[in-house]
Amino acid sequence: MTKPFKRILFTGAGGNLGRRLREHLHAFADVVRLADVADIGPAGPGEEVVQCDLADREQVMRMCEGVDAILHFGGVSTEVEFAPIMQANILGMVNLYEAVHKLGIRRVVFASSNHTMGMYQTSERVDAAMPTRADGYYGLSKVWGENLSRYYWDRFGIETVCLRIGFCFPEPATHRQMVTWLSLDDLLELLRRSLLTPRVGHTIAFGVSDNPGRWWDDHHSRHLAFLAKDSSAQFPDKPSEQFAYPDPSDLTTFLQGGVFVTTGPKYPS
């Protein structure tokens, strides 16, 4: 069967999501180029492996050569001190989009994060047109990525779908994780639609399954026609009394970002 792309690039292949997604990406392309800053071992059939530091522009240029589309999951994926976030998520995004522009690549799917909006209250319903309210340097770096990709759309017509991914691990263990859970199958369907929908321009979508009590309203990305099939309702309910009346003195339950909202700023003296 003909696949939609000849070669796609998947960055962050050694990360939590990278390891889980790897085997499923072959449906999209004849060749999947897997990239990570770490050594991820040898390529399997239909794969290429590239070790790449996103902060190094020459390495990024080489990593992007000859690909038709990019799934960008690379970079720092949690709240840490600013220096590594700056290298991988701020400078790394500039290097990536410069390479994308110079090489004529037309579409990127960017793994953004719900932490772009983490300072909204858990009682609020949030959509993609509302102002970003990041909950730390990590969330701010994802806001940067979303804005940078919007600029490359406005200026150069490079299409990007930014996915504000929720909690994408096999099983939610807290109420917050139940509300923000994204199943692997739903993520794969989101990737498929993000890659294959004919015109996406610059789209911001929330990566979340059809969970009870969702905080995120996705009507701004309706053109992707994504309908989540899974729901955290399949897991035993976790105690949620404190969420019925979130306590303003406990920011990790009062605000959507959970523990991220109190982790930072990590600025070494």
Which residues of the chain form contacts with ligand 15L (CB under 6 A)? Answer: 77-78, 113-115, 167, 180
Annotated catalytic residue: which of 97, 120, 137, 138? 138
Query: Which residue in 160, 142, 173, 143 sits closest to 258, CA to CA?
Result: 173
Annotate 218-268 with DSSP letters as a single string: -GGGGGG-------GGGSPPPP-HHHHS--TT-HHHHBTTTTHHHH-----
Closest approach, Cβ 255 to ligand 15L, in A, equals 12
Nearer to ligand 15L, 79 or 159 (CB): 79
**Catalytic residue status for 138:** yes
Least Å distance, CB 92 to ligand 15L, is 15
Nearer Cβ to ligand 15L (113/211): 113
- CB of 29 or CB of 88, closer to ligand 15L: 88
The least CB distance from residue 172 to ligand 15L, in Å, is 9
Q: Which residue is nearest to ligand 15L (CB)?
A: 113
- Name the residue type at position 190: L
Residues with a catalytic annotation lie at 138
